[in-house]
Amino acid sequence: IAKPLNIPVFVDAAAHILTIPDVHLAQGADVVGYSGGKGIKAPSCSGLILGRKDLLMSAHQVNSPHHGFGRDNKVGREEHIGMLAAVEAWVKLDHVKEMNTWVSWLETIGNKVSAINGVKTTITRPDPELIHHVTPYLHIRWNPEQLHVTGEEVAEELGTIAPRIAVQVGRNEAGLTGITLVGYMMIPGNDKVAANRIHEVLSRKRQPKVIPAMKNPVMNMVGLWDMEVQYFSSKVTQHLFIDSQEGNWITGVFKTDLSSRPFSGSIDGNEVKILCKYYTPGDRILTTIQGNINSGVLAGDMDFDEFNNAKFTAKKHKYPQNKKPITYPKHRPQSS
């Protein structure tokens, strides 16, 4: 489609590994861009573009240190050399040996935690033909009714208490919960630290959770709510439209200036919690709202996952009263 119209094709291969010769250029792309801080393991703010020389020279022309428009893409000498060193190391690297090393680290963790009664582990290797997110995965699964803890709770503790370990919450399957780890972001010694820490968290004795009954809602929330959201340096008006409330459970739409996002939530007494998941191509925004209703005003906090948080207050929208009779037209107007 693009070639006959003389439109250059750029491939965003940020998380892809380098292929020599480059697979994207071989398939017809004009330019391909890689992130330095992912699989290539260069400095995080570095990047690499390959392709048609005329297009690359145009990019170079407006790039640092030249005084191009806005002087964006300002990358230091350290990142330039770091990117070059990473590529030079990449072409000499024994990638099969590296993959086996990553797997051995995950095996160290898996062997340690699988000794806990009720914990199961599996390691999956990437497809040999895969060129993006090329890493083995360690999946740790257990029955939350047996260990009295969920994957979400374990991930929260691992990510907030030193030594901090970033893990993915495993998808629930057949009544199981869990966490997932990858190998390619680890360095020697991390496996033993992670193994001991995860074992300590999962082997801890816990009592079954007693979930208290939810309180009766303080009000019927159905309707339009005007929200005043206070960010760090600005304040905006947004809206919650709650279209249904069945007991303690609510559903509706969170409306911003740019999108309308379905949500689900709860009202426990005067405490309100809402979760909104919004997806666009290449991105995801999770919005969690928590607040309390007092004298008809809902106030609290909003969490935007990686995009930080904000404060808010909300009141039910008051529609103007128009108590006038409405006449239905009996014929077409004779003039406009």
Q: What is the predicted pLDDT for the residue at 72?
A: 57
* Backbone φ, ψ for residue 323 (5° rounding): -90, 65
The CATH number linked to 246 is 2.40.128.120
At residue 132, the pLDDT reads 85
Q: pLDDT digit string (tens) for 22-80?
A: 999 999 999 999 999 888 889 888 889 999 999 998 887 777 666 655 555 567 788 88
Phi, psi (degrees; rounded to nearest 5) at 285: -125, 120
**173 and 257, same domain (yes or no):** no
What is the model's pTM? 0.77
Residue 73 structure tokens: 């893409």
Task: With a cut of 90, say whether residue 321 has pLDDT above it.
Answer: no
Domain-ending residue, one of 92, 126, 156? 92
Q: Residue 258 — pLDDT band, cuts 50, 70, 90?
A: confident
Count structural domains, the chain: 3
3-state secondary structure of 177: strand
**Is residue 158 included in any domain, yes or no?**
yes
If asked whether residues 142 and 193 sit together in one domain, one would say yes
Could you give the C-alpha distances from 245 to 223, 225, 259, 265, 276, in angstroms and in order?
10, 14, 23, 9, 16
The per-residue pLDDT for range 40-52, each reduced to its tens digit, is 889 888 889 999 9
Residues 79 and 103 in one domain: no
CA distance 292 to 294: 6
Q: Does residue 178 share a domain with residue 84?
A: no
Which string of DSSP letters, residue by residue, matches 96-108?
HHHHHHHHHHHHH
Window from 23-27, 105-109, 167-171, 272-276 with minimum mean pLDDT:
167-171
Q: Is residue 328, in this structure, part of any structural domain at all?
A: no
Greater pLDDT, 333 or 241: 241
Say how many CA atoms lie within 13 Å of 313 toward its Cβ.
6
40, 114: one domain: no
Which CATH number fits the domain that encloses residue 175? Answer: 3.90.1150.180
Q: Decide if 37 is inside a domain.
A: yes
d(CA 260, CA 96): 47
Q: Which domain holds residue 82?
A: 3-92
Q: Could you tell me if residue 45 is inside a domain?
A: yes
Residue 122: per-residue pLDDT: 96
Burial class (CB in 10 A: 0-12, 13-18, 19+), 280: exposed
Same domain as 151, residue 132: yes
Residue 123 pairs in a beta bridge with: 138
Collect all residues with Cβ–Cβ distance below 8 Å to 299 and sequence separation of at least 6: 291, 292, 311, 312, 313, 314
Domain end (from 31, 58, 92): 92
Q: What are phi and psi of 254, to 5 degrees?
A: -100, 115
* Residues 83 and 11 occupy one common structural domain: yes
For residue 204, give both structure tokens: 């801890």
Domain boundary among 92, 110, 136: 92
Same domain as 184, residue 136 = yes
